[in-house]
A and B are shown apart, each in its own frame.
Chain A
Amino acid sequence: MAAPQQRRLIFKHNDEPGYTNDLACYQRHGGYEILKKSVQMPPQAIIDEVKKSGLRGRGGAGFPCGVKWGLVDRKSGKPIYLIVNADESEPGTFKDRYIIHQDPHQMIEGVMISCWANNVKQAYIYIRGEFPHGARILEKAIAEARAANLVGPNILGTDYSCEIYVHRGAGAYICGEETGLIESLEGKRAYPRIKPPYFPAVLGLYQCPTIVNNVETLCHVKHIVDMGGDEYAKIGTPNNTGTRLLCVSGHVQKPGYYEYEVGKITLGELLNEVCGGPLPGRTFKAVIPGGSSAKILKFGETFTLKNKDGSTRTLTVEELPMDFDTLAAAGTMGGSGGVIVMDDSVNMVEALANINAFYAHESCGQCTPCREGSLWMKKITARMVHDTARADDGVLLKSVADQIAGRTICAFGEACSWPTQSFIAKFGDEFKSYPETKKVAKADGALELV
């Protein structure tokens, strides 16, 4: 059976020969027509369309965008800010990079429509520091749009004004967390805020109501207004609407980015057919389906899931549709759409050691469990690889992770403990036998992962 066709909404023009990232090219392809349409619509009508569309945030949590907008405090009398989360830093995720580099105006149009819908007069694009060219491209695109009266004062001849500025991060994963991002944008260490009371929708940037949306999410808004919420909702599967960008990396023949209707392609189709299967002579061992903090899936395991009618179905890893709800039911998440594939050459202790080093490096250090736990997990796995491994280190690792998840200020607590929890749950034997097997692995000339 052939894999379904890609459905390219966001990446419609990506990699298209002759398509450039300047305004003229974008407008030749119908650019900013939806913004023109939007400013003729009452803002609430746009919010309603977004609600109807069922659009879920593409940054990681999959929170419904319309609901997020609905939570914004519109009675405070304070300005409402919109922040574009372009801090793309979840390992395995590289979709926003290509939107920004190849089609920045699509995002800007989505931003302006969302600003109009939410009566936002000032938007910031928080772009990760590692995208210096991306920041320049956005600066240039905003300048073009401003010159064309699409951004800035009295856009398109209306009395509506909205400014967009680019704000650069400087290498901190935690800035992807929306309140950490807000603190960073306020010029501070990116310490996530406690919630309550600091829900961005009420007390966000400068203690004003604030919307933080992912780059891809805001691009979808444009398409929702274009086709109407109901029509958009027909794309994908119920409660998992629209298309989503999937980024595949690691041990496959054809890594890269793809756009599919949510839930219309299975993990097996994606990896075996679209990405060309495992590398020569290898077999798939494990896959992380939604960025490195998502729980790992082990090829060969099965999931017994409940159907709506109360019956159950059993799916293999390959049979899992790439949507929000099924992946959650399988104990992991669609997250940011970053699919990381590992084949049978990988030792899971070493892979986890690599991931743990990342989270220990990126923990902001504000709250105790994450600060101390993430480094402890790193120290344990690093010791296992580089020094003496103990057969019961896996048990200790899981216990440390269990002491973090659910007890921290922000979701980083889960992000840093889910890999450990799931690696131990699924590859516990490999941790137990590592004191013996690692000698073999070293002799094998395997790649160093940590």
Chain B
Amino acid sequence: MNLKPETLRQIDEVITHYPVKRSAVLMLLHAVQEDVGYISQEAIEWIAQKLELQPINVYEVVTFYPMFRQKPIGRRHIKVCRTLSCALMGGYRTCETFEKEFNTHRGEVSPDGEVTIEFVECLASCGTAPVVMIDDDLHEKVDVAKAKQLSASLKQEAAQRR
């Protein structure tokens, strides 16, 4: 595992938070995913060893929690809330707008590798529906127009980077 020193420091620190090492599984998975982008089989085995577990114990956890992914995703992660309050305010249209804008389908990496769009369950911001998380940031009242606007700025940012 080629983790950043900061990640390793964070991992060693967080393990001390629990009387039983196994408790740190979720926090380690978060740390590794934030660093590497996804959870590889190598990462599962590394974490298992770090926490004195069998790899299956970590694998079971990785596959239970939807936030952990076992494959790389696009550079930006667009998570559109699918659940009732957002759907009532047009969440499905919002998701379709992003799909059209990036010429991709939910669950897939866009052809240019820029985004992965995902439909996720309730993001707990139902009062400002429909909501979308782009990476760690919440965007509220994302109707079709705002989805287009957000897409435009993501594309612009990508263009500048190139």
| In the complex, A touching B (Cβ < 8 A) | yes
A92 lies within 8 A of B93 (CB): no
- Nearest neighbor of A129 in chain B, beta-carbon distance: B67
Q: Which residues of A contact B136 (CB under 8 A)?
A: 132-133
**B60 close to A (CB within 8 Å):** yes
Query: Contacts of A247 on B, CB cut-off 8 Å?
Result: 126-127
Q: Chain A interface: which of B80-88, B103-111, B148-156?
A: B80-88
Is the Cβ of A173 less than 8 Å from the Cβ of B121?
Answer: yes
Please, which residues of chain A bring their CB within 8 A of the CB of B89?
Answer: 250
* A186-B126 contact given A292-B84, A351-B84, CB 8 Å threshold: no
Closest to A79 in B: B19
Interface range on chain B: under 10, 10 to 19, 20 to 34, or 35 or more? 35 or more
Answer yes or no: B90 CB below 8 A from chain A CBs: yes
How many A-B Cβ pairs are below 8 Å?
A: 153
Q: B158 near A: Cβ within 8 Å?
A: no
B120 within 8 A of A: yes
Give Cα A448 to B97, complex, Å.
13
In the complex, how many angstroms separate the beta carbon of A441 from the nearest chain B beta carbon?
14
Tell me whether B17 and A165 are in contact (CB under 8 A).
Answer: yes
Q: Which of B74-103 contact A (CB under 8 A)?
A: 82-85, 87-90, 92-93
Q: Give A269-309 as 1s and 0s: 1 = Cβ < 8 Å from B's Cβ atoms.
A: 00000000000000000000000100000000000000000
> Which residues, 49 to 95 on A, are CB-close (under 8 Å) to B?
88-94
The answer to the question of A13 belonging to the interface, with a C-beta cut-off of 8 Å to chain B, is: no
Least Cβ distance of A406 to chain B in Å?
A: 24
Contact B88 A449 (CB under 8 A): yes
CB-contacts of B129-158 with A (<8 A): 129, 133, 136-138
Complex: how many Å from CA A342 to CA B133? 24
Q: Which residues of B contact A340 (CB under 8 A)?
A: 84-85, 88, 126
Chain B residue at minimal CB-CB distance from A101: B138
Contact with B along A127-166 (1 / 0, CB 8 A): 0111111000000000000000000000000000000010
Q: Which residues of B contact A364 (CB under 8 A)?
A: 64
Contact between chains at A171 and B60 (CB < 8 Å): no
Q: Which residues of A320-368 are within 8 A (CB) of B?
A: 338, 340, 342, 346, 351, 354-355, 357-358, 361-362, 364
Known: A94-B125, A206-B20, A256-B127. A187 touches B90 (CB 8 A): no
Contact residues in B for A88 (Cβ distance below 8 Å): 124
The residues of B that contact A346 with a CB separation of less than 8 Å are 88
Whether A129 lies near B65 (C-beta < 8 A) is yes
B26 within 8 A of A: yes
Size category of the binding interface on chain A: 35 or more
Q: Is the CB of B84 within 8 A of A184?
A: no
| A172 proximity list for chain B (CB < 8 A) | 64-66
Q: A91-B84, A255-B126 are in contact. Are A186 and B30 (CB under 8 A)?
A: no
Q: What residues on A are CB-neighbors of B121 within 8 Å?
A: 89, 91, 171, 173, 358, 361-362
| Contact, CB under 8 Å: B126 / A92 | yes
User: Chain B residues near A354 (CB, 8 Å)?
Assistant: 82-84, 87
Q: State which of A171, A185, A256, A342 has its C-beta within 8 Å of the C-beta of B65.
A: A171
Tell which of B51, B57, B66, B124 touches A93, judged by Cβ atoms closer than 8 Å: B124
A189 within 8 A of B: yes
Most buried by A among B68, B87, B120, B121: B87
B61, B64, B124, most chain A CB atoms within 10 A: B124
Contacts of B20 in A (CB 8 A): 186-187, 206
Near B by CB (< 8 A), chain A positions 356-391 give 357-358, 361-362, 364
Residues of B19-37 whose CB lies within 8 A of A:
19-20, 22-27, 29-30
Q: Which residues of A contact B (CB under 8 A)?
A: 88-94, 96-97, 122, 128-133, 165, 167-173, 184-190, 206, 247-251, 255-257, 292, 338, 340, 342, 346, 351, 354-355, 357-358, 361-362, 364, 447-450
Closest 10 pairs between A and B when the two form their complex, measured CB to CB:
A170-B65, A249-B126, A187-B25, A249-B85, A187-B22, A170-B67, A171-B67, A448-B92, A171-B66, A91-B122
Besides A170-B65, A358-B83, 11 other A-B contacts (C-beta < 8 A)? A91-B85, A91-B126, A93-B124, A130-B133, A165-B17, A170-B67, A187-B23, A292-B83, A340-B84, A447-B93, A448-B87
